[in-house]
Structure 1
Amino acid sequence: MPTVAAPQVPARLGRFVLRMFRPHIYVTYGVLWVLALESSAVAATGVAWRPSGATWLRAASVVLALLFLRMLDEQKDLAHDRVHHPDRPLVTGAITKAELRGAMAAITVVATALNATLSATATLLLLATFGYALLLAAPARPAPALRDRRLLELAVTYPVQVLLGIYVYGSLVAAGNVTADWRGAALLALSACVFLHFEFARKTTWEPQPGERLYSADLGPRRSAVVTAGCAAGAVGCQVLLFAPAGLLGLSPCLAAVLPAWGTWRFLAVRRGGWPMPAATGFVVATYLALVVRAVLGP
């Protein structure tokens, strides 16, 4: 492969980010996730919440972590992409492994510097997330076996998302904004259920295409739909557990459940195509936005 001149690298990385890490999706998700988790953690203690400088540092750190993970996934999936996605940047040479690894090193330095201004705990928790992700990428041989078993792959890779949630909550505890208790576990379960609803929805379909790695291929469309709907129900259950004492305002984010309810009905009734993704995406956005609004309007 020809050598890439150093002045070309930023533009090549920029094109990679715009294509494979679409800011309007990944940045929006990362920021909403942090705002919802932080605001709910503070509001659950009965204290009014407003975003601070530390809030935006956490949000920036999570977005950087998501970009780090996207770059790492691109390298892990190279063999599969050569067969099934020959237009991907790493396959075509639009980006190289060396460029991605250099960017990942830069992300690590920047994220470490940002979190050093928060606390040593925040820094260590974020670096633990990076470390776990790199550990998963290290053994190249078991990767094909994981790819062939989607549920096993999810069980192994999903803890990266859990660690990011722990980073946000743990940094709040270290800063003295909240005291660690059962509500932290409930909030992490809530965000897990929201994410897993979207994750299962995007990989549940009646008619898989060649090369697609789907949960519905392992479970069958109906059982995959049940799991997808169950994740949304779990998110609602966590909100009831956390915020029922606050009355109707506290439970207002539960109204977003109408989206997965409709998505489940449509998927099972039509019996063709995939899960209606606008409903799954809308559930994530509506839930997180409603949690933030609820925290702003009242503890």
Structure 2
Amino acid sequence: MTTVAVPHVPARLGRFVLRMFRPHVYVTYGLLWVLALEGSAVAASGTAWRPSAATWVRVVTVVLALLFLRMLDEQKDLAHDRVHHPDRPLVTGAITATELRGAMAAITVVVTVLNGARSAVDALLILAVLGYGLFLAVLERVSPAVRERPLLGLAATYPVQLLLGGYVYGSLVATGTVTADWRGPALLALCACVLLHFEFARKTAWEAPPGARFYSTALGPRRAAVVTAGLAAGAVGCQVLVFAPQGPLGLLPCLAVILPVQGFRRFLAAGSGGWPLPTAIGFVVATYLALVLRAVLLP
């Protein structure tokens, strides 16, 4: 067992975060996700939207929840990483499971206090997210199928992202910012399609590396590519459903679909390698950024 002096723990956690939870990726994603979902929910109701203090609480909460889940994943994947990723921090001892669990406990306290100060509903919603993450850790430990089969694993793990989106939308409803209606599920489906497009893109390739749990291994490269492109189309369909009544300007964010179309064509034409990830990353950023701008400028 590795013993670490308490004064060294913050620096070790900081190095872990910088390597395994790159702020320019995860913080940017969490920020855009919350702003896009909140802004779209408010704008869809016909109300002008501007970020508020509550918005930034939601942003901080989502980013910290993503960090909690990343720390949990590091522990869940330890056996796999010992074989296939021996340079990971938990494998090398750069961080310990005890340190990660301590940080997770601190995150739980922080998000509970932040949200409980505003609404008991908000606190319960974010605790449901963290609780589901812990449930998944147990499920993967007792179920080799969930751990080893990528599609089954995705079916089990993705609801945690839906719960996180549900936290943002539920918080808006609980505070009276929006009224719950059919547009809420449609916007959550939109965000799900955007993230799942990227998730499938990063695990779709003509040849999977040894030990990789790719969706293209289970579905075949062409079918996985069709699903990847179809998820981007689903995101566009959700936008049309919610924002078509606002006219052509309301549908401008749909133009981001050009990126997955290019990715699909390039992947099939190449016949080797993986899905061109810049197009998938660009689709996430362009869609969310355009949703934020639309919420600010319209109606």
TM-score, normalised on structure 1?
0.99
Amino acid at match of 1:62: V
Cα distance in 2 between the residues matched to 1:187 and 1:210: 37
Structure 1 residue 145: Cα displacement: 2.3
What are the Cα deviations for residues 237-267 of structure 1, in whole angstroms up to 9, with x where unaligned?
Answer: 0000000111121000000000000000000
Most deviating of 145-154 and 72-81: 145-154
Q: Which residue of 2 aligns with 1:131?
A: 131
* Alignment check: 8 A CA contact 1:147 1:213 kept: no
Cα distance in 2 between the residues matched to 1:145 and 1:160: 19
What are the Cα deviations for residues 123-175 of structure 1, in whole angstroms up to 9, with x where unaligned?
Answer: 10000000111011124543532232100000000000000000000000001
Cα distance in 1 between the residues matched to 2:12 and 2:107: 16
Identity of aligned residues (%): 76
2:288 is equivalent to residue 282 of structure 1 = no
Cα distance in 2 between the residues matched to 1:230 and 1:142: 33
Cα distance in 1 between the residues matched to 2:46 and 2:118: 23
Q: Which residue of 1 aligns with 2:217?
A: 217
Q: Which residue of 1 aligns with 2:116?
A: 116
Amino acid at match of 1:149: R
Cα distance in 2 between the residues matched to 1:141 and 1:64: 24
Q: Which residue of 2 aligns with 1:241?
A: 241
Cα distance in 2 between the residues matched to 1:220 and 1:160: 26
Cα distance in 1 between the residues matched to 2:156 and 2:111: 24
Q: Which residue of 2 aligns with 1:202?
A: 202
Structure 1 residue ranges without an equivalent (≥5): none
Q: Which residue of 2 aligns with 1:269?
A: 269
Q: Secondary structure at the match of 2:294?
A: helix
State the aligned residue count. 299
TM-score, normalised on structure 2?
0.99
What are the Cα deviations for residues 88-107 of structure 1, in whole angstroms up to 9, with x where unaligned?
Answer: 00000000000000000000
* 1:10-159 to 2 correspondences below 5 Å: 10-139=10-139, 141-159=141-159
Q: Secondary structure at the match of 1:138?
A: helix
Cα distance in 2 between the residues matched to 1:205 and 1:18: 28
* Alignment check: 8 A CA contact 2:2 2:96 kept: no
Structure 1 residue 215: Cα displacement: 0.2
Q: Secondary structure at the match of 1:210?
A: coil
Cα distance in 1 between the residues matched to 2:228 and 2:135: 28
Q: Which residue of 1 aligns with 2:256?
A: 256
Cα distance in 1 between the residues matched to 2:14 and 2:93: 14
2:180 is equivalent to residue 191 of structure 1 = no
Q: Which residue of 1 aligns with 2:164?
A: 164
Amino acid at match of 1:268: L
What's the RMSD between the two structures over aligned residues?
Answer: 0.8
Most deviating of 179-188 and 117-126: 117-126
Distance 1:274 1:140, change over 3 A: closer
Distance 1:41 1:269, change over 3 A: same
Structure 2 residue ranges without an equivalent (≥5): none
Where does structure 1 differ by over 6 angstroms across 4 or more consecutive aligned residues? none
Cα distance in 2 between the residues matched to 1:141 and 1:278: 34
* Alignment check: 8 A CA contact 1:187 1:238 kept: yes
* Alignment check: 8 A CA contact 2:41 2:178 kept: yes
What are the Cα deviations for residues 63-92 of structure 1, in whole angstroms up to 9, with x where unaligned?
Answer: 000000000000000000000000000000
Amino acid at match of 1:41: A
Amino acid at match of 2:220: G
Amino acid at match of 1:47: T
Structure 1 residue 112: Cα displacement: 0.6
What are the Cα deviations for residues 100-126 of structure 1, in whole angstroms up to 9, with x where unaligned?
Answer: 000000000000111012211111000
Cα distance in 1 between the residues matched to 2:52 and 2:204: 39
